[in-house]
Structures are given as structure tokens and as C-alpha cells.
Amino acid sequence: MYEDEIKALARAVGADKVGFADLSSYEDEFGISKRLLKKYSRAISIGVVLPREVIETIGPDGPSPAYARCYRRANALLDRAAREIASFCSSKGYRALAVPASRIADWERQLGLISHKAVAVLAGLGWMGKNLLVITPDHGPRVRFATVLTDMPLEVGKPVRSKCGPCRACVEACPAGAIRDVSFDLKPRSRNEVFDYRACLEKLMEFARRPGIGELICGICIKACPYSSAQG
Ligand code: SF4
Ligand code: SF4
């Protein structure tokens, strides 16, 4: 019953996408959150679109300072939207926990408190691509996400099945060879079967040391995805 108010609040703060997920089918392999899943039955997925012009500045050899600045801005906006939505849910008498966009709880496996991407897929905002990014129908993987966990009885979205098909654009573009060309659908057997996260992390660490970057970012597989050029 509060879905429209939450969407309006998110847009007022500057977020572009909002979806609602039922956490009963959340795959625990993608987070370290069993404890949290007992307390929260729903998650609110909030998305901010990264402009196509910024993604275009990413080269075949790595991220640009413009992309690093845009990434930081998107995270700040998402964190603010998550805080405001969590406080709205609390004000209505429900539990709510804002999970910031880029807080990593397990560096080894690059996992946050909960997977923002798994939540966005459950909320129906897109499908999980071969590059383990959420591929939205209108902006491809050019969207960053944050999450609010809650027990508010929200009406939830429907997960979307993968539309990657035979596409290999991200597989071929990845400089780390991290993307294994396996379609990641709603019930994957293991994340490692789809993606070599250690190889990806090593590449991100190399990029983070470059002048003007300072973040664990790459963006090559975002730019390569044909869905990225869908809309501005
Ligand atoms: S972020 Fe970069 S290194 Fe990681 S999978 Fe994508 S293209 Fe490969
Ligand atoms: S580049 Fe192709 S295979 Fe990779 S995520 Fe996008 S659609 Fe899927």
C-alpha cells in the first residue's frame, strides 16, 4: 500500500528506478545474510542510471576519471535515497535497514551485506547478465543499486529471465577473462561457475591504483553490453 509513496520519495531524491522483492526466494550464496533474512521479508531495490556519455569515456584498457566521479556521485545519491526510504518505512512502524551501494562485507568474495543485484533481479528490474551485472531492459547494465530491507508488506515484482542468449560481447571484452559465457538464470548452481570473481577483483585493484580512479571499478563489460546503448 506504500509502494507509490516509496517510488515518489525515491524519485524526489534523484533515483531512477524502484522495485520490490520478496526475499523468501533470495539465494543465500549471493550474500552473507541468513541472519538478516529472518528479520526482513521484503527488500526495496533502488537504482540510479549512469549516463551513456560517461560510460562512453571508458576505454578498452580500463575506466576513466569521469566514470570514477560518476560512480561516486551515484553511490552518494543511492545511499541518501536508501536512508530516506528506510526512515519512511520506520515512520510507518516497520523494520527497515538501509544497505549502502558500495559497502563490501566480504572483500575476498566481493560480497556486500546483501547482493543489491540479486535483489534488483528478484524485484523484476532486470536479469542477471553473463557479466553478473543487472541488465535492465532500457539502460542495460548502466545502473547502480542500493537496497532497503524491511518487513513492510509490499507488493513485489516478478523476476525476469535472462535475455543474454548467444551474445558474447562482455565475454570477449573482459581484460581479465573473468566471464565464463554461462547464462546466469534465476536458479544458478554456483556463482563461480558463471564468473571468476578473483580474476575480476585483481583487475579492479590494478585499475584502482591508476591516477584519478581510486575505486574498485572497471566498466569495460558495462560498455560492451549491447543493452547499454538502449537509452540515454
Ligand atoms: S568488471 Fe572488468 S574485469 Fe570485471 S568482469 Fe567486467 S570487464 Fe571483466
Ligand atoms: S554483453 Fe551480452 S552476454 Fe554480456 S550481459 Fe550484455 S547481453 Fe548478456
**Residue whose CA lies nearest to ligand 2 atom number 5:** 129
Burial class (CB in 10 A: 0-12, 13-18, 19+), 90: middle
**Residue whose CA lies nearest to ligand 2 atom number 4:** 170
Reduced to 3 states, what is the DSSP secondary structure of residue 80?
helix
Specify the pTM: 0.92
Ligand 2: lining residues by beta carbon, under 6 Å: 129-131, 135, 164, 167, 169-170, 224-227
CA distance 66 to 32: 32
174 C-alpha vs ligand 1 centroid, how far in Å?
Answer: 5
Give me the residue label for grid cell 526475499: 23
Amino acid 192: pLDDT: 81
Amino acid 11: pLDDT: 96
CA distance 215 to 211: 10
173 C-alpha vs ligand 1 centroid, how far in Å?
Answer: 8
Q: What is the pLDDT along the chain (232 residues), one digit of tens a residue?
A: 899 999 999 999 999 999 999 988 776 555 556 777 788 999 999 999 999 999 999 999 999 999 999 999 999 999 999 999 999 999 999 999 999 887 665 555 555 678 899 899 999 999 999 999 999 999 999 999 999 999 999 999 998 889 999 999 999 999 999 999 988 775 555 778 889 989 999 999 999 999 999 999 999 999 999 999 876 5
The residue among 103, 52, 53 whose CA lies nearest residue 79 is 103
What are the domain boundaries of the chain?
3-229
